[in-house]
């Protein structure tokens, strides 16, 4: 289902950004210049190109690919201004006119190229998962701090108003302490081609890495760092390479200020069809959080701009109410538009940070380290090696 979501988000972004493109001549004269490392990455249109097209303070000034022809194709497809095409990532990093580098490379290359980008004095918007493992995450965050450069892990979903609306309720105290949570993300069997980067151990593939959202959603809504322990973790190994988890299920124990919480996470990149035939298209990334007085359920927390709902069941009365937050009256959503995708919200925050304005939300370096430490701990408990 994740792939279907991704395709739908492409369409959503294409249609909305086409309607809201800010022509280059109407953009701010002080443009933030982005460079993309990996012009042909599937995620580029949704995560960076369309968001930039609709933002009046930024432009994509260069694309780099391993093969210059791919960079030239990306330049041609991108209609704003005159972007440069580079036939190597090094060349783009040497371009002094680039302020920010967006990195949509395979997971196993995140650390190397984010590190090189920081060395070249660039700010970095880095795709999830942050790095291959926690050791790399610690080094990368230290480098960004030392160089006083912005480094953000692209947990786009956290920037959407719906995430904030739910978190505000959970942390309000009105519903009592959190008791447990359960976060799911699945993709129907066979929908990710076997040649995909997600199946390659050397590129830091695996379900837990790709569907790192199940960990980040848990940590975000619990306001948690790392778990006290990984109680259990079981992977379903990829037949051709058992180091790669085609699925991972784990139970985490947190000791929060407010008390103990048990969290289940399920990530499955090859989810068996129902009765062997029916792909579980309805299984959008979701999280359930039970507190003393209510059970919350956030359906499609990852792409809420396409569709989502938050249900709240009162444990005493059994009554369930439903909410949607494309745009509400919160200070948060007043900063944007109901049509903004999660990636557009994320870009808004990134630009705020670049301009010295305080973004309403940020994924801190410590959070990215905690995220990778949690992932390492789950792999270790499951008896799998850490990603290289």
Ligand X SMILES: NC(=O)C1=CN([C@@H]2O[C@H](COP(=O)(O)OP(=O)(O)OC[C@H]3O[C@@H](n4cnc5c(N)ncnc54)[C@H](OP(=O)(O)O)[C@@H]3O)[C@@H](O)[C@H]2O)C=CC1
Ligand Y SMILES: O=C1OC[C@@H](O)[C@H](O)[C@H]1O
Please give the residue ranges that form the binding site for ligand Y (CB under 6 A). Answer: 2-3, 6, 210
Distance in Å, CB of 107 to ligand X, minimum: 5
Token pair in block for residue 127: 């795709």
Token pair in block for residue 341: 């995708």
Query: Which residue, chain included where needed, has tokens 């988000």?
Result: 9
Q: Which is nearer to ligand X, 106 or 188 (CB)?
A: 106
What residues between 27 and 56 interact with ligand X by CB under 6 A?
A: 38-43, 47
* Torsion angle, alpha carbons of 52, 53, 56, 58, to 10: 40
Contact status: 232 vs ligand X (CB under 6 A): no
Residue 291 interacting entry, from ligand Y, ligand X, none, C-beta within 5 to 8 Å by type: none
The per-residue DSSP string of 57-75 comes to TEEEEEEE-SSHHHHHHHH
Strand ranges (DSSP E) for 47-150?
58-64, 84-86, 100-103, 123-126
The answer to whether 128 is a known catalytic residue is yes
Active-site pick, 84, 122, 128, 381: 128
Contact status: 72 vs ligand X (CB under 6 A): no
User: Residue 110: in which H helix or E strand, if any?
Assistant: helix 110-119
Select from 319, 282, 285 the least CA-distant residue to 300: 285
User: Residue 267: in which H helix or E strand, if any?
Assistant: strand 259-271
Contact status: 105 vs ligand X (CB under 6 A): yes
Q: Which is nearer to ligand X, 87 or 225 (CB)?
A: 87
Distance in Å, CB of 50 to ligand X, minimum: 13
Q: Which is nearer to ligand X, 153 or 249 (CB)?
A: 153
Task: At 363, give phi and psi (nearest 5°).
Answer: -100, 110
Number of H helices, E strands in the chain: 13, 14
Q: Which is nearer to ligand X, 14 or 256 (CB)?
A: 14
Residue 3 interacting entry, from ligand X, ligand Y, none, C-beta within 5 to 8 Å by type: ligand Y
Spatial contact of 311 and 227, defined as CB atoms under 8 Å apart: no
Gyration radius of the chain's alpha carbons: 20
Instruction: State the residue number with the nearest CB to ligand Y.
Output: 2
Distance in Å, CB of 56 to ligand X, minimum: 23
Distance in Å, CB of 72 to ligand Y, minimum: 26
Q: Which is nearer to ligand X, 93 or 105 (CB)?
A: 105
Distance in Å, CB of 150 to ligand Y, minimum: 21
How many angstroms separate the CA atoms of 388 and 369, rounded? 16
Interface residues toward ligand X, by CB under 6 A: 38-43, 47, 65-66, 70, 104-107, 109, 127-128, 154, 156, 197, 210
Instruction: Cite the active site residues.
Output: 128
């Amino acid at each position: 289902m994740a792939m279907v979501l991704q395709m739908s988000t492409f369409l959503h972004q294409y249609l909305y950004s086409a309607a809201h493109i800010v022509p280059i001549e109407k953009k701010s004269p002080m443009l933030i210049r982005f460079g993309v490392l990996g012009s042909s990455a599937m995620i580029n249109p949704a995560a960076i190109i369309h968001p930039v097209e609709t933002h009046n303070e930024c432009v994509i000034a260069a694309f780099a690919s391993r093969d210059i022809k791919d960079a030239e194709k990306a330049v041609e497809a991108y209609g704003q201004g005159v972007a440069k095409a580079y036939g190597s990532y090094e060349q783009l990093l040497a371009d002094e006119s680039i302020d920010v580098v967006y990195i949509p490379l395979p997971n196993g290359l995140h650390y190397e190229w984010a590190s090189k980008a920081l060395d070249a004095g660039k700010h970095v918007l880095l795709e999830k998962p942050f790095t291959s493992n926690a050791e790399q995450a610690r080094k990368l965050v230290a480098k960004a701090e030392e160089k006083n450069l912005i480094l953000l892990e692209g947990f786009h979903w956290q920037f959407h108003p719906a995430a904030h609306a739910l978190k505000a309720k959970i942390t309000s105290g009105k519903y009592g302490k959190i008791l447990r949570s359960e976060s799911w993300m699945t993709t129907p069997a066979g929908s990710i081609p076997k040649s995909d980067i997600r199946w390659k151990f050397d590129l830091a593939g695996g379900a837990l890495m790709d569907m790192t959202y199940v960990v980040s959603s848990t940590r975000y809504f619990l306001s948690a760092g790392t778990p006290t322990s990984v109680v259990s973790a079981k992977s379903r190994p990829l037949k051709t390479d058992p180091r790669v988890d085609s699925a991972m299920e784990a139970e985490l124990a947190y000791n929060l200020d407010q008390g103990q919480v048990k969290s289940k996470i399920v990530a499955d990149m090859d989810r068996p069809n129902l009765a062997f035939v029916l792909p579980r298209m309805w299984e959008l990334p979701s999280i359930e959080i039970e507190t003393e007085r209510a059970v919350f359920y956030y359906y499609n927390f990852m792409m809420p701009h396409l569709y989502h709902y938050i249900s709240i069941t009162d444990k005493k009365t059994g009554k369930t109410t439903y909410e949607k937050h494309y745009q509400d009256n919160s200070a948060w959503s007043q900063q944007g538009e109901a049509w903004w995708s999660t990636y557009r919200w994320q870009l808004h925050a990134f630009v705020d940070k670049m301009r010295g304005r305080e973004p309403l939300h940020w994924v801190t370096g410590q959070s990215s380290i905690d995220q990778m430490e949690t992932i390492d701990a789950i792999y270790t408990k499951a008896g799998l090696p850490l990603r290289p």
